[in-house]
Structure 1
Amino acid sequence: MRRGAVGLAGAATALVLLAGYAGLDVADAVPGPLTTTPPPTAEPLPTAPAAAAPDEAPAPVLAPPGTAAPVPGTTALQERLAPLLADPALGPAPSAVVSDALTGEVLLSLAADAPRTPASVTKLLTAAAALHVLGPGSRAATTVVRGTSPDEVVLVAGGDVLLSAGTGDPGAVAGRAGLADLAAATADALREAGTGTVAVRLDDALFSGPAVSPAWGAGDVAAGYVAPVAPLAVDEGRLVPGQDAPRAADPALEAARTFARLLAEQGVAVAPADVDGGVARAAADSGAPVLARVESATTAEQVELVLTESDNTLAEVLGRRVALATGRPGTFEDAGAAVAAAVADLGVDVTGVQLQGVSGLGRGTRLPARVLTDLLVLATSDERPELSALLSGLPVAGVTGTLAERYRGESAAAAGVVRAKTGTLTGVSSLAGYVRDADGRVLAFAVLSDAVPAGASWGARRAEDALAAALAACGCS
Structure 2
Amino acid sequence: MATADLPGTGDQRPTRRGLGAVFAAHPRAWLAGAGALVFVLLGTGAVMAGAATGGVEPSAASVSATASPTPTPTATVPPARPSPAAVTAASRLRTCSVAGLATDPRLANFQGQVVNATTGEVLFDRGGTTASATASALKVITSAAALNVLGPDYRASTTVVKGAEPGQVVLVGGGDLTLSRLPTGSEPFYTGAAHLDNLAAQVRTAWDADPANAGIPLTSLVLDSSYFSGPGWDDGWARSELGLGFMPEITALQVDGDRDNPARSTSPRSEDPIGRAGSAFAEALGGGVSVSAGTAPAGATQLGAVQSQPVSTLIQQSLIVSDNTIAEMLARLVAIQSGAGNSFSALQQGIVGGLASYGVDTTGIVIKDGSGLSPANAVPPRYFTELFVKINAREGHLGVIFDGLPVAGGPSGSLSYSDRFSGANAAADGAVFAKTGWITTGYTLAGVIRSADGTPLTFAVYALGNVRDNAKQAIDTITTGFFRCGDNLSNN
Same fold (TM over 0.5): yes
Tell me the TM-score normalized by structure 2: 0.75
Distance 1:421 1:475, change over 3 A: closer
Code of the residue aligned with 1:186 in structure 2: it is V
Code of the residue aligned with 1:84 in structure 2: it is L
Partners of 1:197 and 1:110 lie apart in 2 by: 64
Partners of 1:170 and 1:141 lie apart in 2 by: 20
- 1:472 matched residue in structure 2: 483
**Aligned pairs for 1:296-335 within 5 A:** 296-335=308-347
**Aligned pairs for 1:245-260 within 5 A:** 245-260=267-282
> Percent of pairs identical after alignment?
36
Partners of 2:249 and 2:323 lie apart in 1 by: 13
- 2:172 matched residue in structure 1: 156
Aligned partner (choices 102, 111, 115) of residue 127 of structure 2: 111
1:100 aligns with 2:100: no
Query: How far did 1:476 drift?
Result: 4.2
Partners of 2:372 and 2:143 lie apart in 1 by: 12
1:92-137 Cα offsets, whole Å, 9 max, x none, are: x311111122342222222111111111111111111111111011
Code of the residue aligned with 1:90 in structure 2: it is L
Query: How far did 1:175 drift?
Result: 4.8
- 1:409 matched residue in structure 2: 423
- 2:199 matched residue in structure 1: 182
Partners of 1:376 and 1:199 lie apart in 2 by: 50
Task: Return 5+ residue gaps in structure 1 as ranges.
Answer: 1-72
Query: How far did 1:249 drift?
Result: 1.3
Aligned partner (choices 287, 296, 299) of residue 284 of structure 1: 296
- 2:455 matched residue in structure 1: 441
Query: How far did 1:320 drift?
Result: 0.6
Query: How far did 1:388 drift?
Result: 1.8
Partners of 2:169 and 2:161 lie apart in 1 by: 6
Deviates more, 1:338-347 or 1:324-333: 338-347
Query: How far did 1:246 drift?
Result: 2.5
Partners of 1:259 and 1:153 lie apart in 2 by: 11
Code of the residue aligned with 1:423 in structure 2: it is G
Aligned partner (choices 239, 243, 264) of residue 286 of structure 2: 264
**Secondary structure class of the residue paired with 1:148:** coil
Partners of 1:102 and 1:249 lie apart in 2 by: 49
Answer whether contact 1:165 1:258 (CA < 8 A) is retained.
Answer: yes
**Secondary structure class of the residue paired with 1:423:** strand
Answer whether contact 1:102 1:381 (CA < 8 A) is retained.
Answer: no
- 2:94 matched residue in structure 1: 76
Larger radius of gyration: 2
Code of the residue aligned with 1:469 in structure 2: it is T
Distance 1:427 1:184, change over 3 A: same
**Aligned pairs for 1:200-279 within 5 A:** 200-243=221-264, 244-264=266-286, 270-271=288-289, 274=290, 279=291
Deviates more, 1:190-199 or 1:385-394: 190-199
Larger relative contact order (CA 8 Å, sep ≥ 6): 1
**Secondary structure class of the residue paired with 2:123:** strand
- 2:351 matched residue in structure 1: 339
Superposed CA RMSD in Å reads 2.0
Partners of 2:486 and 2:147 lie apart in 1 by: 34
- 1:370 matched residue in structure 2: 382
**Secondary structure class of the residue paired with 1:335:** helix
Report how many aligned residue pairs link the two structures: 389
- 2:144 matched residue in structure 1: 128
Task: Return 5+ residue gaps in structure 2 as ranges.
Answer: 1-90
Query: How far did 1:174 drift?
Result: 3.8
Partners of 2:194 and 2:398 lie apart in 1 by: 24
Code of the residue aligned with 1:394 in structure 2: it is L
